[in-house]
Amino acid sequence: MSSVNKQLWGGRFTGAIDPLMDAFNASIHFDKRLFEADILGSQAYAKALAKRGIITSNECELLVDGLKKVLEEWRSNSFKIQPGDEDIHTANERRLGEFVGSVAGKLHTGRSRNDQVATDFRIWAREEAKKLLVYVKQLIYAAVERAEKEIDVLMPGYTHLQRAQPIRWSHWLLSYAWSWQADAQRLEQIIDRINVLPLGSGALAGNPFNIDREFLAKELGFKNVIQNSLYGVSDRDFVAELLFWASMTMIHISRFSEDLIIYSSGEFGFVSLADAYSTGSSLMPQKKNPDSCELLRGKSGRVFGQLSGFLMTYKGIPSTYNKDLQEDKEPIFDAVDTLAGSLQITTGVLSTLTIHPDNMKKNLSIDMLATDVADYLVRKGVPFRETHHVAGAAVKAAEDRNITMADLELSDFKQLHSSFEQDVTEIWDYEKCVENRSSLGGTSRATVLEQIQNLKTWLSEN
């Protein structure tokens, strides 16, 4: 018999397949990761066939037990892939037949690899997404825990990478915690959209044996059943969404890493990364490089590439299943692996870094209180547009004399505006500046504690 006839689809063919094409077509080297999802789906499908009387209860039991043995082999790394195993479905069915005999051939009744792989992939993606969600929440928890402990540390806040206004270190930390919370919420929504059942769609037109799809959904933990068989076998929006989610999350991790790379430099000295997340130089013994953060920043590009590559594959595919969709798995496998590692490394970096409050405080400067000069006049009844110009004039007056605004005399301020009084000296207090930002979302102690409590509540409820 020609080698092509040994394939699940080989009955229509008589000629031997080009060995290069055989290798080109095969996906077992990467889709073997779906082994557990494929076996769970097949066990449920066997039960559904028995429920409709397509196979007997004894045959169903034989199939379910045989599949359990196949699963045990995969889990123990003793499963041996054979040359004819072009994909995970072929491999599992072949091995099942070796365990239970010809009854294995009944398992595929009414089922296509099109709805089978769509089901396997959704099961796998759902479970992996749940793991990633745990890692995101662990990262948020690490940020919240640290923010609470170090709430009294002040640091410069930046815009355009220029010192702008004093903020709490905890406020900076929580800015990323809120980004990661948004990532977690997005992922929860994606999990819901992943969690719909395509099994029972057949190749494209539906199942001819009136299989109970609601039963299958319940068996496999799906919330709903896909209502259109054409959509069921072709939809890979969940892959695109998961890749976008991975890209967005890596953007947040990359930006966080960039901040830490800057803050750990000698020019800033705000933080030091733990030795566990740093490396040295092969030439310069004094160097301590933030390689963990640089790798996190670099791996973001890898994930973005997987998203853009898949979208280019997906955009031109005509309706229902086409072989191009075999290209859906490697990008998501790689992205999931990258995110799993990156999230855990980020948590480790954040949990173990050392902060240097004295260096942060030394980098606070009186010119960062220029807005507070404007705000002072606003409280005296002067319109802000006017006070902004007065504050700018105060900055320039200090610069021209090579002193700080705090060194200006009351008479100097009086020349700029008559509303200045002796209490202008109370402006030069960084703690007071921070505490003035007390509206919701601000950097005052009370509002930062409120953020911490809100994130703690969210974590406990989710």
**Which positions are catalytic?**
160, 281
Give dist(CA 139, CA 179) in Å, integer.
11
Coil, helix or strand at residue 381: coil
DSSP type of residue 176: H
| Exposed / middle / buried, residue 306 (Cβ in 10 Å: 0-12, 13-18, 19+) | buried
Residue 417 CB contacts under 8 Å (≥ 6 apart), including other chains: 377, 382, 387, 390
Q: Which tokens is 49 given?
A: 């066939």
Give dist(CA 201, CA 231) in Å, integer.
9
- Binning the chain into helix, strand and coil, the percentages to the nearest 5 are 70, 5, 25
Cβ pair 390, 376 in contact under 8 A: no
Give dist(CA 81, CA 335) in Å, integer.
25
Give dist(CA 37, CA 39) in Å, integer.
5
Q: Which tokens is 212 given?
A: 């109970």
Strands 162-168 and 154-159, how do they pair? antiparallel
Give dist(CA 416, CA 424) in Å, integer.
13
Give the CA distances from residue 430 to residues 269, 391, 397, in Å, rounded to whole numbers and listed in that order. Answer: 20, 17, 21
DSSP type of residue 109: T
Helices 113-149, 237-263: axis angle to 10 degrees equals 30
